[in-house]
Structure formats: C-alpha cells, structure tokens
Structure 1
Amino acid sequence: MVRLDDLQVLVLAAEQGSLSAAARELDITPAVASAAVKRLEDALGLRLLVRSTRSLRPTPEGSHYLVHAKAALAALQQGQQELSRGRQQVAGELTLSMPSDLGRNLLLGWLDAFMARHPALKLRLRVSDRISDLFRQPVDVALRYGVPEDSSLVALPLDTSNKRLLVASPAYIARHGAPQNPAELKDHNCLRFVLGDRVYEQWLFGSDKVKVSGNRVSDDAECVRRWAISGQGIAYKSALDVSADIAAGRLKPLLEGWPTEPTPLYLVCPHRLSITPAVVALKDFLSQQIKQYRQ
C-alpha cells in the first residue's frame, strides 16, 4: 500500500533535486526520507529516482509517476481546504434535544428566526424532558437545566442566573390561599414532574428542603405549567418557563422573600469536536434572545 507521506517525500525530493532538502522541509532525517522512497519503489516494483552523492533525478518511470503523485496530493489538499471551509459555515444538519415547556413556548419561535438567518442549515428537533444520552442517541447538542453530572460533557452557558419560581394561578390562590413559608406547602396540592428518572418532589428554598405531594405528576413539564394556569395546584418551575405567564397575570409568584433553587441553562455537547460553527452560532443567538426576553 502506498503511503501519503512517502508520496510527499518523493515529490519534494524530485522538485528540489535532493533527499536531504526534502527531509529538512518535512522535518525528518535523510535516512527516513531515503526509506520512504525505497518503500515506494518496492511497492511499485520500479526505480523512481536515480541517486548519487551529489545529485538526484527522476527515472523515466519516475517522471511519469510523479504526475500522478502530484495530482493525488493536490486533490487531498483541496479536500482538506474544502472541509476547513465547511467547518466555518453554518450549514449541514443539526440535531437538537430540548425540554418540552421551554422548547414549545419559547424556543420554537426563536429557532424560526435562527433558521432564517442560516438557510443552509437543516434542523432536527427532539422535544422531551427525558435527558438524552448524547453518546448513544443521534443528538449533536442538548439544552439542559443544571450542570451536567457527567464531567466529560461540554456545557456552554446560556443563562446562569435562571432559577425556579413557586407559582399558582389567581383562581387557586383565591380558593386555597397562599403558603406563607415552605413548610406550609404540605397543605397544598403541589404539581410535580419527572426530573431524570425520578419524580421531583424535594423542593429547595435556600437551606430548606420540603418534600411535597399532590394528585398530579407528569413527565412533560408543559403539562405541569398548564395545570398550574388552570388552577389545579402549585408549581415550582423554571423562571424561563413561567415569566410570560406571570407578566400576563395567568400565574402569580409565591414565597417571593425566600431563596429558590438555581436552575442554570446550558447548551451541552458530547465533546469539544462537536462545537461546530452551527453550535457556536446557536449558542450566541440563544444567549442574546434570553437576554432580551429577560429585559
């Protein structure tokens, strides 16, 4: 089998008339350069170069072969350049996993604007509150709340100040009143959701941890938000999910004087080679959209 580095030695040696000069340019020893040419000649069964202590020139067969060797190296270089240019373009297909509530109610509109900016990009969405396995599932990047437990993943911050808010509808508060401290949540119907593989029912308020209960649980966080809006109970949701509902009066924040659980939002990749121009552009775009949304 012909080795590409051997072809490079042959072409440089023929162009410069010296194996030593070719070796210096490639940062190898003359002995390594000589061995490369010998491997080529043995593989082809032909003498390619006529060498003496002072000069080097191609044989007739070598001159003929050099035409093809140069063409092969040029084609490979062109391919590398095209790949490099491709890495700088926001193009190709991007598979994005995102949580249900944030995805449907904020991100879908934002992603429309993002795609309009980058018409060469194709987008494939996976909308679920189940955490995607980025090493086993066909996902390029995922939006996740909280720092990933797997330290091998690369987490790009989108909103590190995000936190949970305790909310209920005006109708629920009118019927059942509002809790005055976290301990009083035991007397209320708390709307729970599945986080990872477990029901999220240990709600944190600073150093206080309260185990809550209620008659409704969902693995879709959007269902929990809709239940809260319809007056079915109290929810403990990401501020990004419920800020618009609070502004519109559909939900009201509770226990505002108490510290709530941090819920930073990250764009997560399986490794640094996954951070393509499309991922960088998406990260910058979403960061800007979130900043504007919070104003």
Structure 2
Amino acid sequence: MKQDYTIPRGALDGVEAFVRVAERRSFRQAAADLDITPSAISQAVRALEARVGVALFTRTTRSVGLTEAGQRFLEQARPAFDAIVSATAAARELGAKPSGLLRLTVPRSVVQIILQPVLASFSARYPDVVVEVVASEELADLARDGFDAGIRMGEFIDPDMVALRLTPPLRLAMLASPDYLARCGHPATPADLANHSCVRIRRSNGTVAPWRVLEADGPHDLAVTGSMIVNDMPTMLSAALGGAGLAQLPAPLAAEQLASGQLVEVLADYAASSPGLFIYFPSRAQVMPKLRAFIDHMKAYAQEALLN
C-alpha cells in the first residue's frame, strides 16, 4: 500500500520560534534574536502548540520553562531543525561562490579539442569545484541525467536550450594518410569522393551523417560510401591515420597530424564549416556560480588559444 509522505500544511511553522524560546527561556530574548516582536513570536508558539495539541511551555510573569511534552518535542525537533539550517547554509554556499560538483556531458572529440587543455587551469583556479566529465556521443537529457551543462556542435543542440558560443565556426577538413592517397589517388572534386572509401560516422539517433562540402552556390550535404562506419570522431581520426580511407573532421581535431604530415588535406577549396562548439544548459536563471565560472574560463581560453 502506497504511504502518504506529504508534510501537513504549516507543520514546520513556528519550529524556529519554539527552538529559540527553548534555548533562551525567554520570549523577549528569542524575539530579539529573530528580529521580530515578542507578540509575533508568542503567536507563532501558540499556533504550534495548537497544532501539536499540547502545551510546550510553562509560562509565568518571571520565567519560561518547558513542559514534559515541550522537552520531548525539543529533543526530537532540534536535530531536525539543525539539519535544515545546515542544509540551507550548504545550498546558499553553492549559490555564493564556485563550489560543488560540476557535471558535464561532452562528445569524446571535445575532450581533446577544448577540454583537455583547460581542465587543469580551471581546477587550479577553482579548487572547490569538482569537475565530472562524461564523454559520450549520446545526447543526454541534462535535467533527467543530472548534468549542469553540455558541450556540443551547434547543430545538435535543442532549440529550447540556452547556448553560448565557445569557438568560431570550425572548418571541416577532408583528409587522408599519405599511404592511402598513394594507393588510391587524390580526389580533385567532391564528385570524385564516389570513387573513394570514406569513413563515416553514425549519429546518436541512428542515422549515418553525410559529408558537407562547399560548392560555388553554398554548402551541400553529400552522401558518401566506404568500408567503415564509426560512432565518434577520435575513432574516425584513428581510421584515417591507419589508411582506412578519407575522413572529414573539424580541423582542430587533426591539427597535430596535419602539421606532422601524418595526414594530408584534400579538396581544401571545398571545405565547409560547422557552426562551432557551444556550451548549453536549460535556463539562465539556473546558472550556479560553478557553471558561470566554468563558462567564463572556457570562453577566455577558446578566444585566446583554440584557433591560433
């Protein structure tokens, strides 16, 4: 049988007044502590006694004492009241300065592109914040799954989210290993991709993403084929390095491999762009100091260093 755990209306009213009077043994001194009138604190205690159904204090013109019922009420109510005060202080502290657990959901590629270089400096600056990074291609429900925020490419963020830009649009480079290009040749136009093995990525909704190319009349989505489908960009990068085929990736993700010659860009004149990376969360009103500090730290890093 389902039990009813609903707190009766007004059940907690007057408890603080009762505890203060019990401590002070004085309505006047308790009223001064709470910055209210003696009449107001007396009314609060009388209302509590009426709900409990028994007198909690013995009152004379000279003193105030606890009845047996009042002593028993104090013994059980005081620890609960202290716990509420402590919980309130803890919650208020989270709202006053960057502290607590900050949970983020990000794709694996984002960890390398933008998180890995900045997490150490953020932790050093905000030692009271514990950052938990859940790297997954799945689009999490932030509220349901207990995340403070997520980081994604702009095209994958729901329109009801608040999204703040972290990077400029990211160039989508088409690249391959020198070994693959020696075996299969260089494509000269996007139409030539039909004759190449292209590593593709399956989105979290189950669809295989097309490649985006920039033609004279603007960007176009192009269906490509190949012998490998992956579910994240780091795996696509590894496949390209291994010579499995051509890959299309945000240029910052492959910057090191391009600079070292492990990968070669092709069709550079046809490279399109993604909207870039955004941090997103449900509501501006729900931004705690820990998240605000992280956003500001991330934006400063991205503007200064990401695409230099």
TM bracket, shorter-chain basis: 0.7 to 0.9
User: Quick one: which amino acid aligns to residue 293 of structure 1?
Assistant: L
Q: How does 1:52-63 map to 2 (within 5 A)?
A: 60=60
Partner SS, residue 186 of structure 2: coil
Counterpart of 2:201?
Answer: 193
Q: Residue 123 of structure 1 corresponds to which residue in structure 2?
A: 131
Are 1:294 and 2:307 counterparts? yes
Q: Matches of 2:178 and 2:115 in 1, distance apart?
A: 27
Report the Cα distance in structure 2 between the residues aligned to 1:106 and 1:175, rounded to whole angstroms.
34
Distance 1:215 1:255 in 2: 21
Counterparts of residues 71-150 of structure 1 (less than 5 Å): 80-104=88-112, 107-150=115-158
Question: In structure 2, what is the Cα distance between the partners aligned to 1:15 and 1:99?
Answer: 54
Select 1:158's aligned residue among 160, 166, 173.
166
Letter in 2 for 1:190: C
Would the aligned equivalents of 1:163 and 1:263 in 2 still touch at CA under 8 Å? Answer: no
**1:268 Cα deviation from its structure 2 partner:** 2.3
Q: Which moved more, 1:209-218 or 1:248-257?
A: 248-257
| Structure 2 portions without partners, runs of 5+ | 1-7, 19-29, 67-73
Measure the CA separation in 1 of the matches of 2:17 and 2:301: 53
Q: Which secondary structure does the structure 2 equivalent of 1:207 belong to? A: strand
* Distance (whole Å) between structure 2 residues aligned to residue 187 and residue 101 of structure 1: 28
Partners of 1:190 and 1:126 in 2: how far apart?
29
Contact 2:199 2:226 survives alignment (8 Å): yes
The code of the aligned residue for 2:272 comes to T
SS in 2 for 1:195: coil
**Structure 1 residues 210 and 148 mapped into 2: Cα distance closer, same or farther (>3 Å)?**
closer
Q: The residue matched to 1:142 in structure 2 has which SS?
A: strand
2:244 matched to 1:232?
yes
- Work out which of the residue numbers 211, 216, 220 in structure 1 matches 2:228: 216
TM-score by length of structure 1 reads 0.73
The answer to whether structure 1 residue 203 and structure 2 residue 212 are counterparts is: yes
What is the DSSP-based 3-state SS (H/G/I as helix, E as strand, rest coil) of the residue aligned with 1:284? Answer: helix
Identity of aligned residues (%): 25
Q: C-alpha distance in 1, partners of 2:262/2:202?
A: 23
Cα distance between partner residues in 2 of 1:75 and 1:16: 26
- Aligned partners of 1:83, 1:160: CA distance in 2, in Å? 36
| Alignment partner, residue 176 of structure 1 | 184
Q: What is the CA distance between 1:230 and its match in structure 2?
A: 2.8
User: Which stretches in structure 1 are left out of the alignment for 5+ residues?
Assistant: 23-33, 49-58
Once the two structures are superposed, the pairs formed by residues 46-57 of structure 1 within 5 Å of their partners are none
Q: Which amino acid aligns with 2:244?
A: Q
CA–CA distance in 2 between the matches of 1:293 and 1:107?
11
TM-score normalised according to structure 2 size: 0.70
In structure 2, C-alpha distance between the alignment counterparts of 1:74 and 1:228, rounded to whole Å: 60
Contact 1:203 1:212 in 2 (8 A): no
